[in-house]
Amino acid sequence: MKNPVRVAVTGAAGQIGYALLFRIASGEMLGKDQPVILQLLDLPQAQNAVKGVMMELQDCAFPLLAGMTASDDPEVAFKDAQVAILVGARPRSKGMERADLLQANAQIFTVQGAALNKVADRNVKVLVVGNPANTNAYIAMKSAPDLPAKNFTAMLRLDHNRAASQIAEKTGKAVADIEKLCVWGNHSPTMYADYRFATINGQSVKDMINDQQWNAEVFLPTVGKRGAAIIEARGLSSAASAANAAIDHIRDWWLGTNGKWVTMGIPSDGSYGIPEGTVFGFPVTCENGEYQLVRGLEIDEFSRERINATLQELEDEKAGVADLLK
């Protein structure tokens, strides 16, 4: 049996937590032969609810669940964590944009970044789900100067999966056959889902669709505004699909993608004109526990405009939290 991996999850009593923890414990994230220890963090007033979730986890008798802890102290929850999924934050409600959450949620990530810096495993893989995810990941990364910046990522996978499903529907092909799709930028309506390089069974998706108006007027707004559409319909923000995207993100990072492109929000190395350190959605492949940026893609005029718009939004978000990072 392998040694258990310590997985910290924040916001454990919330709706994403409830859709996420059981799947981690069942081996869907790190593999069916990989035991895990869950280290759960939530606010003091949510500790009772966390206890209830732990009782349910216990009642599943998951063979891979090697232990569980709960705390309201990030330095306890993040101790020696090898994976940290930062979900805990306020979600938006009807009528709010994700940017409205900036002030409410940003402070959480300075505290949690500092705690990770102090107590987490030095190779901890961090995924920020709480919105605004890119800027929160940036704040956590900047608050953890002793950890490698590349360990901090933001969740763009939900946008990626949403884009894949829309393309499958449009082309009448299987979602599993779509390759080389990516989403650039911020997890917000400005994100740029890009199928110019995508193929289905070797055929160009762009050629199959051959409809730039659909791209600009249907596809991009549908993917960009999907979160709001779900809030409108459910009265609550997406939870099961968000948890599923978190599982996909960490699973691919941990176990590899066999050359397949996926989208991750990662600190830029300056490629594609994105300033170094900006946490931006990029196409990556994963191997041996590391992600690699897909390089050398041609950026046409339409794409450059979209990428610049989503970058501008991220720069504005960064400016909005600059005082927190002094």
Chain positions 286 to 315 lying near ligand NAD, rule: CB under 6 A, are none
Helix 301-320 vs helix 102-119: crossing angle, to nearest 10: 80
CB 265 within 8 Å of CB 277: no
Among the options 79, 125, 157, 187, which is catalytic? 187
On whether 12 is known to bind a ligand per the annotation, the reply is: yes
Of residues 84, 89, 131, the one with CA closest to residue 108: 89
Residue 310 binds ligand LMR, judged by CB under 6 A: no
Residue 35 binds ligand NAD, judged by CB under 6 A: no
Query: For residues 57 and 154, which CB has a smaller minimum distance to ligand LMR in the complex?
Result: 154
Query: For residues 3 and 103, which CB has a smaller minimum distance to ligand LMR in the complex?
Result: 103
Chain positions 94 to 123 lying near ligand LMR, rule: CB under 6 A, are 98
CA separation for the pair 220, 245 (Å, rounded): 19
Q: How far is the CB of 230 from ligand LMR (least distance, A)?
A: 5
Residue 92 binds ligand LMR, judged by CB under 6 A: yes
Q: How far is the CB of 320 from ligand NAD (least distance, A)?
A: 16
Q: How far is the CB of 221 from ligand NAD (least distance, A)?
A: 17
Residue 39 binds ligand LMR, judged by CB under 6 A: no
Q: How far is the CB of 186 from ligand LMR (least distance, A)?
A: 11
CA separation for the pair 28, 36 (Å, rounded): 11
Query: For residues 131 and 151, which CB has a smaller minimum distance to ligand LMR in the complex?
Result: 131
By a kind-dependent CB cut-off of 5 to 8 A, residue 230 interacts, out of ligand NAD, ligand LMR, none, with: ligand LMR
Helix 301-320 vs helix 133-142: crossing angle, to nearest 10: 60
Residue 250 binds ligand NAD, judged by CB under 6 A: no
CB 24 within 8 Å of CB 94: no
- The strand pair at 36-41 and 125-128 is best described as unpaired
Residue 14 binds ligand NAD, judged by CB under 6 A: yes
CA separation for the pair 122, 143 (Å, rounded): 14
Amino acid at site 62: F
Residue 131 binds ligand LMR, judged by CB under 6 A: yes
Eight-class DSSP state of 91: P
Q: Assess whether 160 carries a catalytic annotation.
A: no
Query: For residues 187 and 318, which CB has a smaller minimum distance to ligand NAD in the complex?
Result: 187
Q: How many CB atoms lie within 10 A of CB 99?
A: 17
On whether 11 is known to bind a ligand per the annotation, the reply is: yes
Query: For residues 102 and 115, which CB has a smaller minimum distance to ligand LMR in the complex?
Result: 102
By a kind-dependent CB cut-off of 5 to 8 A, residue 186 interacts, out of ligand NAD, ligand LMR, none, with: none
On whether 215 is known to bind a ligand per the annotation, the reply is: no
**Which regions of the chain does DSSP assign to beta strands (E)?**
5-10, 36-41, 65-71, 83-86, 125-128, 152-154, 178-179, 182-184, 192-194, 199-200, 203-204, 262-267, 279-287, 290-293
Using CB under 6 A, which of 38, 102, 242, 250 touches ligand NAD?
242
On whether 98 is known to bind a ligand per the annotation, the reply is: yes
What is the arrangement of strands in the sheet containing 262-267, beginning at the earlier edge strand? 65-71, 36-41, 5-10, 83-86, 125-128, 152-154, 262-267, 279-287, 290-293
On whether 15 is known to bind a ligand per the annotation, the reply is: yes
Eight-class DSSP state of 11: S
Closest residue to ligand NAD: CB criterion: 14
The binding site comprises 11-17, 42, 92, 98, 105, 112, 129-131, 162
